[in-house]
Chains A and B, each alone.
Chain A
Amino acid sequence: MVYYIRMKKQYYFLFVGLFMSVMTMAQDLRTTLGKAFNSQDSSDYYFKIAKRLIKTQADEGQYFFCKNARCTDYNQLDSAVVYGNRALKILQSGNDIPSLLTVYNNMAKVYRKQGQYDKAVAYCLQGIRIAEKEKKENWIAFFNAMLSLTYHDFESYPKGIYYGKKALKYWVSQKEKSPDMISNALNAVAINFDDWNKPDSALYYHKQVFQYYKGKDTLNVGETYNNIGNTLLKQKKFKEAKRWITSALKINDKNFELSQGNKDTDYYYERATNYTNLATIAHELDDFNEAEKLFEKAYWFSKKSGNAEKLRDFYMQRALFNKKRNNLVKAVEDQESYIKLRDSVFDVDRAQTFSELEAKYQNEKKEKQLLQSKAEIREREIEIKNKNMQFLVLGLISFALLCIIYLVYRQQKLKIKQQEQEFELKSAIVKIENQNKLQEQRLAISRDLHDNIGSQLTFIISSVDNIKYAFDIQNEKLDAKLSNISSFAKDTIIELRDTIWAMNKSQISFEDLQTRIHNFVDKAKEVKQEIQFNFFVDSDLKDRKFSSIEGMNIYRTIQEAIHNSIKYAEAKNIDIKVKKLGTQIAIEIKDDGKGFDVAAVAKGHGLFNMQKRITEINGHFNLQSAASGTEINILL
């Protein structure tokens, strides 16, 4: 285990060591390449060291990239092309986009100098494609500015203005404005206008440069000074033009001094421009000696700059100068050089390639835009679909919320209703309970009263009977009156007892009624022994129950009917039958007495009361009487 940990430690240190050494080497390569690029005299030496430090393909790419940049800046145009192509080969397969775009820019710059504008445009467009893909907006602006300059050199000024304005628009729209970049774009637009014979527009754009350098060092705007002078020269304002161009030359000299004598491309290019312009002014002012001297300088710098456009301008101006001096041989020579150079630059094939490249780029761009707009439409469709969906769901949510509000409202309403119902029910119960208590109290008082009446009646009966038997009353009238009082009191007691019996029962069954009627019949038998009583109750009806009033009324009706039969009918048989008739109860009281004429006999209290009692309990009363007997039918 210890061995394993030790091994692990060793591997860890080895890995860290290797990583550090690789990083150091990578750092060394970059430092060395930096020195090689910036050094004036020892560049080759540092490049040789850097070459030895190359370990990876990325290192190689960086090496060729630096070589290309150095050669571009120091006018080694062919070498720049060779190194550029090698750098591109490696960088295209890597992820170092800024280096790749820089190489494209350098290649465009080199070909522009060489007058191979078709190739310059091709590299610019390729650079733009990559920058667009990588969304490097500043690089798109760089390439647009380069295209503007290239089209200018190719004398395709409207296109030059178009690309220059594109670059200008981008740099001006930036929050942090870069005066160098804006000045570059403004100059590109202005020189196109200038050579297109639109000096006013050219001066307008040139002078805008000073807005961004107002109150600052003019060392940055040497090119603008020269360009303004150039425009004025075309306007035949020679003296004014000379002043501007001389100032431009002084600025360039000062910049050269400040750069510690660094003779890069710009050094030769700027001076070629300045001296050609100054020579032209001298020739226009007929100062031939001065013009000749200046043309000589201009020739030297133009040659050194390696810029086809500069040489072309130079030959053109010197041809005009020699023509003016009547030095026709030299004039023809310069004219021939100019035409040769011009032809090499402006051949038909190149122009065609130009337009093809442009068309290809524009087509690609349009296709790209088409695809982009299609994608946008698709995205918008999806967005609209999503929004529709969201609206639908929002609608459903609103509906659900409304439902919830309604449910909560209904629930609250239900609760209130339930509480009200409960309260009402409880109130009703309390009310009924109170009513019941009151009724109970009333009934208790009634019972006491009935007991009292009962005892008083008993006292009367016993008193009357005592008087009757104790004093041996001879007076018949008196005796009858006493008997009458006694029997009346007895009847009243019976009635009182019957009522108390009914009052003490909440329900009365037929069985109870049967027992009660039997008692009554037994007593009646004692009085009239010859009468035969038959009492029959259907067994199904024994459990049938009546309320106290119903029971009492039925009992009293039967009692009254029997009483009438005993008292008036002189009957021998009295039949009482209670039967079930469907859902109804039929009670039949029949005697075999002498009967009576129902029409002739006015209904006395007895008959009337019977009918009234039955009607009160929703029953039907029927009485039939003949010589053979009387029959009462009650239907309940």
Chain B
Amino acid sequence: MTFFLITVFLVLIGLIVYLQYKMFSERNAFASKLEPLEQLMIQLNEDCKNQSLQIQLSDDLKVKMRDVNAALSRNIFELNYQLFEESTPKKEK
């Protein structure tokens, strides 16, 4: 009986060691499985960040272009106005 119980205990110890080992190897396998995903994630984040900066630049330019558009419109209007002023007295003569 005692011998049988000791055998059972040893088997259980073996099982514990096996489970520990399995858990350890599963952790490693999971870590190596996640590594490329993490790399991809970092890469995508980097891309995203760069794109965000580019979009920011684009947005800044957009603001600038709005100002440019307003300035050009104003200049062209003034030019037209002057042309109109120049042309109107000539007709009166």
Chain A residues close to B by CB (< 8 Å): 386, 389-390, 393-394, 396-397, 400-401, 403-404, 407-408, 410-411, 414-415, 418, 421-422, 425-426, 428-429, 432-433, 435-436, 439-440, 442-443, 446, 450, 453, 460, 475, 477-478, 481-482, 484-485, 488-489, 492, 495-496, 499, 502-503, 506-507, 547-549, 552
Contacts and interface: CB of A to CB of B under 8 A. Distances in A.
B72 A475 contact: no
Nearest to A395: B9
Contact of B16 (A386, A407, A428, A507): A407
A390 B41 contact: no
B19 A411 contact: yes
A488 B71 contact: yes
Interface string B1-42: 110011011001101100110110011001001100110110
A547 B53 contact: yes
B35 to A, nearest CB: 11
B82 A478 contact: yes
Contacts of A446: 55, 58, 61-62
Taking chain A's interface residues, is the majority helix, strand, or loop, or is none over half, making it mixed? Answer: helix
Interface string B48-64: 11111111111011101
Contact of A503 (B2, B54, B68): B54
Contacts of A421: 34
Interface in B44-87: 44-45, 47-58, 60-62, 64-65, 68, 71-72, 75-76, 78-79, 82-83, 86
Contact of A407 (B1, B19, B40, B68): B19
B4 to A, nearest CB: 9
Nearest to B6: A393
A386 B6 CA distance: 12
Given A460-B72, A485-B79, A450 B51 contact: no
A429 B57 contact: no
A404 B16 contact: yes
A397 B72 contact: no
Nearest to A491: B68
Given A394-B5, A407-B20, A408-B19, 6 more contacts: A432-B45, A478-B79, A478-B83, A481-B78, A495-B61, A499-B61
B82 A477 contact: yes
Contacts of B58: 442-443, 446, 450, 499, 503
A547 B61 contact: no
Nearest to B13: A400
Contact of B48 (A394, A425, A436, A475): A436
Contact of A492 (B19, B53, B68): B68
A440 B51 contact: yes
Contact of A401 (B12, B49, B52): B12
A549 B56 contact: yes
Contact of B30 (A401, A418, A502, A552): A418
Contact of B61 (A442, A450, A488, A506): A450
A414 B64 CA distance: 54
Contacts of A460: 72
Nearest to B71: A488
Nearest to B75: A485
B9 A396 contact: yes
Given A400-B13, A453-B65, A436 B44 contact: yes
A436 B12 CA distance: 53
B55 A393 contact: no
A445 to B, nearest CB: 9
A407 B83 CA distance: 91
18 contacts: A394-B5, A396-B9, A404-B12, A404-B16, A407-B20, A407-B23, A414-B27, A422-B34, A429-B44, A442-B55, A443-B51, A450-B58, A475-B86, A477-B82, A478-B79, A492-B72, A495-B64, A549-B56
